[in-house]
Amino acid sequence: MTVLQAVLVSLFVYLGAIGSVVGNTIGWYNLGRPLVASFIVGLIMGNVPVALTLGLLLQLANLGSVTPGGAVGWDLSYATYIGVAGALAFHTGDIAATTALMWAFSTIGGAIGVAMWNLVYVLDLACNRVAQRGAENDNPRLMAFANAGLGNIIGFVCRFFPALVILVTTAVAGSQSGVNVAEMIPSWLVTTLTTFGGMMAALGMGILLSFLMKKGVHFCIFLAGFMLVAYLGLNSMALAAFGIVVAIIYYYILSSKSESEVTGL
Amino acid sequence: MSERKVISPKTMKKAFWLWFFWNGSSQQAETIVGNCLGHAMTPVITELYADNKEERIAGYKRSLTLFNTEQQVGSICPGIFCGMEEAKANGECTEEVISAVKVALIGPTSAIGDSLWVATVIPILLTLCMAITNAAGNMGWIGPLLYLVGYPIGTCILAWNLWKLGYKAGVEGIHRFMASGKLDQLTKAMTVLGLIVVGGLTASNVALTVPVLITPPGGEAAAVNLDALINQIFPNLLPLLLTLGVWQLYAKKKWAPLAIMGLILVLALILTGLGYLTGVYV
B225 CA to chain A: closest CA distance, Å? 17
Task: Tell me: pLDDT of A71 over 90.
Answer: no
Query: How distant, in Å, are the alpha carbons of A22, A224, B44, B72, B74 from that of B87?
Result: 32, 30, 12, 24, 21
In DSSP notation, A117-181 reads HHHHHHHTHHHHHHHHHHHHTT-HHHHHIIIIIIHHHHHHHHHHHHHHHHHIIIIITT-SS---G
Of the candidates B5, B57, B23, B150, which has an alpha carbon nearest to the alpha carbon of residue A70? B23
Contact A200 B29 (CB under 8 A): yes
Segment B142-152 shows an average pLDDT of 96
Q: How far apart are CA B84 and CA B75, in angstroms?
A: 15
- When CB atoms are compared, the residue of A60, A122, A229 closest to B200 is A229
Q: What is the pLDDT of residue A265?
A: 47
**pLDDT tens per residue, range B156-210:** 999 999 999 999 999 998 888 877 778 888 999 999 999 999 999 999 999 999 9
Q: How far apart are CA B29 and CA A201, in angstroms?
A: 6
Of the candidates B154, B157, B112, B111, which has an alpha carbon nearest to the alpha carbon of residue B129? B154
Of the candidates A128, A132, A209, A127, which has an alpha carbon nearest to the alpha carbon of residue B250? A209
CA atoms within 13 A on the CB side of B33: 33
| Domain chopping of chain B, boundaries | 9-183, 206-278
What's the whole-number average pLDDT of chain A? 91
**pLDDT tens per residue, range B104-116:** 999 999 989 988 9
Q: Is B241 exposed, middle or buried (0-12, 13-18, 19+ CB in 10 A)?
A: middle
Identify all chain A residues contacting B196, using CB atoms and an 8 Å cutoff: 221-222, 224-225, 228, 239, 242-243, 246
Task: Tell me: pLDDT of A70 over 70.
Answer: no
Q: What is the pLDDT of residue B223?
A: 81
**pLDDT higher for A82 or A182?**
A82
Confidence band (pLDDT; 50, 70, 90) for A72?
Answer: low
Task: Tell me: pLDDT of B69 over 50.
Answer: yes
Q: B224 in helix, strand or coil?
A: strand
Chain A: residue whose CA lies nearest to B188: A251
Q: What is the pTM of this model?
A: 0.92
- When CB atoms are compared, the residue of B108, B208, B250 closest to A210 is B250
**pLDDT higher for B231 or A264?**
B231
**pLDDT tens per residue, range A8-50:** 999 999 999 999 999 999 999 999 999 999 999 999 999 999 9
- Percent of chain A past pLDDT 90, that is, above it, reads 77
Q: How far apart are CA B198 and CA A206, in angstroms?
A: 9
Query: What values do phi and psi take at A136, rounded to 5?
Result: -65, -30
Contact B152 A26 (CB under 8 A): yes
B173 CA to chain A: closest CA distance, Å? 14
Of the candidates A153, A66, A166, which has an alpha carbon nearest to the alpha carbon of residue A113? A166
Contact A255 B205 (CB under 8 A): no
Is this complex's ipTM strictly greater than 0.95? no
Confidence band (pLDDT; 50, 70, 90) for B220?
Answer: confident
